Amino acid sequence: MKVAEYVKKRACDIILKDLNFSDPGKYLLRFNYKNSPKELKFHLQVHDEISVKTGEELHFDSLLINAERVERNSSGECKKVWTIDDKVLHDQVIVRERNLTISNFTVTDTGTYRVLDSEGETLITVSVSGERRSVDEQKYLS
């Protein structure tokens, strides 16, 4: 992550560039205002959207660096996908080196995935939609 600073009259914008999935979390910004030190705490979240074809793997690379759990919300129902204590909740979920993979993706795996920290704060939100394989792809795989 790169931080670029642009100062305006009585205002300061901080622009974060080149964010990746390992950057979310809590940050503390220290600055001087009228020769008086100040601190500003903020929580950084990352949002993404991806599409996965049925039967393929859904990879959440480097998602779990500060994560305590991953949950999926589909049709208003929240389901636990992974927790740091339970490790894996079903055979489809594989966790290796803090990367989470859902194998053999199905339409029922679509939804909004949230990666949460130890305080229940959202670090990453990924909206996942599913695509059916084309007839040609299904023939090729058979």
What is the tally of structural domains in the chain? 2
**pLDDT (tens digit per residue) in 33-50:** 778 888 888 888 888 888
Residues 99 and 112 in one domain: yes
| CATH number for position 62 | 2.60.40.10
CB 99 within 8 A of CB 62: yes
Asked which of 29, 44, 59 is the last residue of a domain, the reply is 44
79 exposure class (CB count in 10 Å sphere: 0-12, 13-18, 19+) = exposed
For residue 116, pLDDT beyond 50: yes
117 exposure class (CB count in 10 Å sphere: 0-12, 13-18, 19+) = middle
Residues 25 and 84 in one domain: no
CA 26 from chain centre, in angstroms, equals: 15
The pTM (predicted TM-score) of the whole model is 0.69
Residues 24 and 82 in one domain: no
